[in-house]
A and B are shown apart, each in its own frame.
Chain A
Amino acid sequence: MFADSARAPANGPILPTRLPVTITLLWLIALAASTIPWLDQLAPGELVAAFWSYNQEYYPSVLAHYSWAPRVSIAILIGCGLGLAGAVTQQILGNPLASPSTLGVEAGGQFGVTMATLFVPGLLAFSPDLAAVAGGLLAIGLVIALTWRLGFSPVTVILAGLVITFFLGAMNMAFLLLKGEWLGNLFIWGAGSLVQNNWEPFLQLLPRVLILAIAMLMLMRPLALLQLGQASASALGAKVALVRGGALLLVVLMSSVVVSRVGVVAFVGLAAPVLAKLLGARSLGERLFWSTITGGGLLLLADTLAHWATTLGNGSIVPTGTTTALIGGPVILMALQGIRNTHHMPGADSSPAGFLPTRKPTLLIAGILTALLVLTIAVSMAWSPGLSSWHWTPVSNWGDAWVWRGPRLLAAILAGMALGMAGTLIQRMTGNPMGSPELLGISGGAALVMVVLVLTGVDIGRGGQLIAATAGAAAALGLLILLARRHRFAGNQLLLGGLALYVFMDAGLRLVMASGGTVASRLLNWMYGSTWLVSEQEAIGLMALVLTLGALLLLVLRPLTLLPLGDAAASSLGLPVARARLLLLLLASVLTAAATVVIGPLSFVGLIAPHLARVLGQQTVGRQLLVAALAGGLLLAIADYLARVVVFPNQLPSGLLAALVGGVYFLWGLSRHGRH
């Protein structure tokens, strides 16, 4: 369709040969890896024939026909579908990092299926697509609602997608912890598994994927116009909103249909188009075509790797979702190197609008927050449910109650303060109201170490875990610094590096989830922030650390005010930009690590507290830091209290509660305060 219009002249730009060569190589390796284990049982000809027939007399032949062949077919089909969907998504949003995974669509689909499993299991039997599509639409709707007022700048959209992914993941987890007995089998499914035992799923998927792919191709020419920006595209007569909406709907349908069948196969939709583009696919037609092909090859390779790992790992299942995430991470890092100049990211000029609510006196706000905090502490110490009824603990008995309620409460408050400050630092440094330690991957680094510890089965005690997690956070930070140094610690590159780290963490998580058992639940408890594990010494140590860092922050207030003015302005005012950024990053990461070991990597406090401070009228850096710290502390104090009493005598992880409450606030607050 578009090819005839381009009518490339002889001297026009030609496709670099490295593109077809690399992709062919990818396919050959994937096919070889997939077939080699079978070749000692079946002749090559018989193996090919397994796609349509089998020999009843010979068991390997039956196995190949009903297990291997459909698995290969479905991997290729899904990979192609997701690759195409990813390329279309990138074109819709003009965003080199957009994909069904990063926009939260896959998490949404998973959420939909979980809900349906719990509340309307009949619906799943009727059509698994419906629940997944509804969930996917919910996720993308939330992302769009979040970013509508902020402009669709690439990084903002991705961050909103991550927030939604975390949020829906937390919802999923909450149901899992409350009604675990129902969802056991969703563990493996949720982690993405392509294991097949007949041809039916493939035959069901095939027509759906084909129809959606054709519909996407029909939209190709209007999609090409989107490259010119909203103004020019609509001046050329394209109904931009309609094209975007229609194409996004197709993407959601494609991803949801896949998710409902095989679970979350993360990052194929991101990796395939990025790879195709890096290798030199240039025009829209080329990108769509090569992304599709690359997606198929990538997923086949990832699935084969998962299959091999499962075989080698003595039957403990390694879901395909893990291997795709492991491939996705490096590809994002490659993309990070490829996107040298943010000016080439279309839409980057539409920077997110700041929030400017009217200023309010700091003393008043800080006073109110402190009063609320004291009140929460009092209630938390005194008013609690007993075995028979709720009762007040008199102040004279607080000494005894302290052992049980004190350390965890103190730790929660301090973690909240640390996250509030770290979040403010990061939002200021990146100039993005959606930046936060959770999204920067610093928490993710700590979590990754914990995952590895759990997987290897090493027991180093609580203290050892603390040190290891801090090391993980520092390593994540070090990696970020290495990656970002070339860009002089520019905000966007940092966030993208964080995204890559998050992907690795995700891979580990999926692996643990699929293995299930006590290991999984212990790790999940920590991930979602169970403050009940904190001892008194740890709480006091944390206090000393947070107070020291807070004092240090007072020294860097002015550089922090200058940095958002841009590198040029800041350095011409005499600020050593790179060194200042490094120092601030260090501060932010130590604060984050301290908080992460207590509350887990997934609370939204680092995101919400600074935002709350702005909404409460604190615009200058120092005031925002102070109020954000108080707000963060208050938020986690309340979360900790609620976690203790809501399902008494059981406990919920307070990080999970904070994430749920915070997520809801965030969705509501951002859409409300973005409006003018």
Chain B
Amino acid sequence: MPAFFEVAQLAVRLGETAVLHNVSLAFREGEVTALLGHNGSGKSTLLKILARQIAPTQGVTLLNGHPFKATGSRAFARTVGYLPQHPPATDGLTVRELVALGRYPWRGPLGRYTAEDQGLIDRAIQDTGLTRFADRAVDTLSGGERQRAWIAMLLAQQTRCLLLDEPISALDVKHQVETLRLVHGLAAERELTVIAVLHDVDLAARFCDRLVALKAGQVVADGAPAVIMDSGVLESIYGVAMGVMERAPGQWVSYVH
């Protein structure tokens, strides 16, 4: 069975600077992956390529073994959902209306919304714990709730994959953990493939099956948390002397010397 996503010899250049260079990776279905790396390492760019938001300068991009180009835009949107780093203000949309927009890839510009669609919208709102806020305007919600509303839209999209660009950067610790726990739980329950750009190594190791680290546009580390959460590996990723403690199985704490 081909990998869900596969990219090979990927390169992206913006003008003179190479943002990504010779990146080859495969992502299995049902795997929760974190993309790590310091600012400007190319992780957001890689995610945008997977989301088909930008096209690579060169290289191969496959979805389920088929080249990206072979898939139509709505068909692609039925398989892959993408949450940009800074979702825009939604100008008065209620949570329910926002989530309903997630059904667009399935119904298109003119298709009728059936009871099934309404059910999926309700379930997405329920799963993200937003039932209370369903009729509130998204813009009036707090940062964490707003993030969940957007994730609910992705769930209503019924994709097999979620691409999240720094989904927790703007949140406090409580909401960070809640959001990641939500994504983790949903991924397990619905067998979703998740690829998220994260900055917090400890949280990434706690909630993800696999950590992929980029540095200067190249993959420098790739493996299970147990492999990556090692002072030597982390030092090579971030370029600062770091140490790691394992407090309990699957729970690491990294610190800077």
Q: Identify the A interface with B (CB < 8 A).
A: 1, 4-9, 11-13, 94, 218-222, 224-225, 227-229, 231-232, 234-239, 282-283, 343-347, 349, 676
Residue of A nearest to B113 (CB): A5
Please indicate the chain B residues that have their CB under 8 angstroms from the CB of A236 in the complex.
Answer: 77, 101-102, 104-105, 157
Query: Contact: A237 with B135, CB < 8 Å?
Result: no
Q: Who on chain B is nearest to A346 by CB? A: B88
A227 CA to B75 CA in the complex, in Å? 21
Contact with A along B28-67 (1 / 0, CB 8 A): 0000000000000000000000011100000000000000
Q: How far is the CA of A156 from the CA of B68 in the complex (A)?
A: 34
Residue ID in chain A nearest B85 by CB atoms: A231
**Inter-subunit contact A6/B97 (CB<8 Å):** yes
For the complex of A and B, the 7 pairs showing the least CB-CB separation, nearest first, are A237-B77, A237-B74, A235-B82, A229-B88, A231-B84, A237-B105, A5-B113
Q: Which residues of A contact B75 (CB under 8 A)?
A: 237
Q: Which residues of A contact B78 (CB under 8 A)?
A: 237
From residue B167, how far is it (CB to closest CB) to chain A in Å? 13
For window 71-122 of B, CB contacts with A under 8 Å fall at 72-78, 80-84, 86-94, 96-98, 100-105, 107-110, 112-113, 117-118
With A5-B117, A218-B109, A219-B109: A238-B104 Cβ-Cβ less than 8 Å: yes
Interface of A is mostly: loop
Cα-based distance from A94 to B90 in the complex (angstroms):
10
A228 and B139: CB pair below 8 A? Answer: no
B15 within 8 A of A: yes
A282 to B138 CA separation, bound complex (whole angstroms) = 13
- A238 engages B73 (CB within 8 Å): yes
Assuming the contacts A4-B112, A9-B135, A234-B53, asked whether A228 and B73 have C-beta atoms less than 8 A apart, the reply is no
Q: Is the CB of B139 within 8 A of A344?
A: yes
Q: Is the CB of B84 within 8 A of A283?
A: no
Please tell me if the beta carbons of A235 and B90 are within 8 angstroms of each other in the complex: no
A232-B82 in contact (CB<8A): yes
Smallest Cβ distance from B54 to chain A, in angstroms?
10
Given A13-B137, A347-B88, A349-B86, A4–B113 Cβ distance below 8 Å? yes
Q: A6-B100, A236-B105 are in contact. Are A231 and B92 (CB under 8 A)?
A: no
Q: Taking CB as reference atom, which chain A residue is nearest B154?
A: A235
Specify the chain A residue showing the minimal Cβ separation from B139. A344
Instruction: Check if B97 sits within 8 Å of A283, measured CB to CB.
Output: yes
The reply to whether B89 and A344 form a contact with Cβ atoms under 8 Å apart is yes
Q: Which residues of B contact A676 (CB under 8 A)?
A: 15
B187 at interface by CB-CB < 8 Å:
no
Q: How far is the CA of A224 from the CA of B93 in the complex (A)?
A: 10
Is the CB of B134 closer than 8 A to any CB of chain A? yes
A-B contact pairs, 14 of them (CB 8 A): A8-B135, A9-B135, A13-B135, A13-B137, A228-B101, A229-B84, A229-B88, A231-B53, A232-B83, A235-B53, A235-B77, A283-B92, A349-B88, A676-B15
- State the Cβ distance, A391 to closest chain B Cβ, in Å: 53
Chain A residue numbers with a CB within 8 Å of B139 are: 344
Looking across the interface, which residue of chain B has its beta carbon closest to that of A344?
A: B89
Closest chain B residue to A235, Cβ basis: B82
Q: Is the CB of B89 within 8 A of A343?
A: yes
Q: A228-B90, A343-B89 are in contact. List 15 more A-B contacts (CB 8 A).
A: A5-B103, A13-B137, A94-B88, A221-B107, A224-B101, A227-B88, A231-B53, A235-B53, A235-B77, A237-B76, A237-B78, A237-B105, A344-B91, A345-B89, A349-B88
Distance to closest chain B CB from A6 (angstroms)? 6
Q: With a 10 A CB-CB cut-off, give which of B81, B87, B92 has the most chain A CB atoms.
A: B92
